[in-house]
Structure 1
Amino acid sequence: MTGQVQGKVALVTGGASGIGAACAELLAREGASVAVTDIDELRGPELVAGINKAGHRAVFLHQDVTSEARWVEVVTEVEKRFGRLDILVSNAGIGISVPSITDMSLEDWRRQTAINLDGVFLSVKHCLPAMRRSGGGGSIIMVSSLAGLRGAPGLSGYCATKGGVRLFAKAIAMECASVGDGIRVNSVHPGIIDTPIWGKIPTEAAGRGQNAPIDPEERAKLATPLARAGHASEIAQGVLFLASDASSYVTGTELVIDGGMNAGGAVRRPVGS
């Protein structure tokens, strides 16, 4: 099936790399015009140039998702360029790991919360009116995490933000349903996905402000029933489903894409045993 979001306009935050980039590329291939926003002014334009070179339509807009003033400008620019907004993928986020919550600074707590939670709030506050102006409904997809469904040692602050995103999505889904605007709202919960974020998680062991040497593939072999890390493209397929009319009866729920981690543990046995 092709053209699943043909003629629609999508905005993807944190779209310069990883899951955001995979979502932007797939939505564009499936017919959407895509506004990619990010603070990365190197990879963002490169990604958009590749999308446009492939014959699709995309634009890059520099954005710090914690700036409300910038949100006003971004939404205005999207409507000016494309005339409407149908899909919001609120994906921008960071992860900060510490040995214990007692080691976490208030500065880091607030920075993570500002990006992961305030940024999602602002995305909805400013994109929802534009989506309603477009008419015909739409889809808001908030990228949470498996850490938004279960606790993880060393990631309590991250869990707090991603759990907040999960319930925020449900509340906005009910708000949209109550006014009958046809806009569906869901959250996506990736497990261990092989993306650049693993090299950006500062930990105490690596030294403050340094990158932690975390190998997602090795971690996934031990932690996931499918014994491998997921790929950003696999999360993008889930986002495409929620963005398209294929999910027209889906709202207020979670799409978990985690290789089976949330389901439980599995003891792998040799084939044929």
Structure 2
Amino acid sequence: MKSYPKKDRDQALNALQRLAENDGQLTEPQVAKLAILQQGVKESRHLAANEWINRISYIENDLTQLAIIQRVAFNHFDEFINCLTLAGRFGCLTRLVRGGDYSGTDSLHIWPLLAALAIHDLPAITAYKQRFVPPFLTGHKVTLLACNTVYAILGTTAVTDKLRHQLTNLKDSKYSMAMLRSLAAIINQDMTSFIDNIAIMVKSNRLQQEFSSLEKCYCVNAHGLVNLWRFHTANAPLPPLDFPLPWQHELHGFFTTGHESIGISFDPLAERELNDLPIDSNTLALIHSLTAHSHRGDHE
């Protein structure tokens, strides 16, 4: 497994120190993960519903950071997968409870959906498909177009001529246009264009001003699109990718060589009463399927 450059490793260790909030006991990543769950969930049982969901959002963010730290600083690939899966499911929980208009738009959940695609977390992907119904109507133009396109590729709605036109004609940053062109290439089964635009995304990822130093270490959206092509279309198999997409080779091996599944056994809903949460029975069933003793299925 290839190590990250020293600059990236140092940034990851600094981020771990900040995450630990000067608590020396939390500088070991495994201890930090348990502390995040302990403080974020078990101490939240008496909070009002909205406060509890806000706390869950912080857990999602902290576990995402910890996932990157595990891989970048320590080469702990299994813990990277474990933390990122937990983070994604807590993020899915937040959006399932709050509904499609989370954060004021109905398309913003595309980013945690791409994160679920990046690690091929089928239960989370299925939950998004079942709960959120396109077309999505509000959000930034790139977010909105990407969200509607991913759901179309996943088969929940039709791919229209208007969608094809927008993907290749919308003007935005180099990174965003490469992402949209990658989606167009998936639809058109254009492998050359897809690989070229994924390469642009990976190269541009470190230049995204809104990304933290940790987020610049990996390109989760590129991973998500690669797996969208690989696992959710009938397109031809992708060749080995010869550009530096962190974790791609490890992830490919994880999905294709019978790697033992990593169990996600922590159940946040067992820690509190649910009566004061705005959850209908169908959503509650989805939440339990995401968080209660869940195991990812076969990856092929």
TM-score by length of 2: 0.27
Structure number with higher strand proportion: 1
Structure number with higher helix proportion: 2
TM-score by length of 1: 0.29
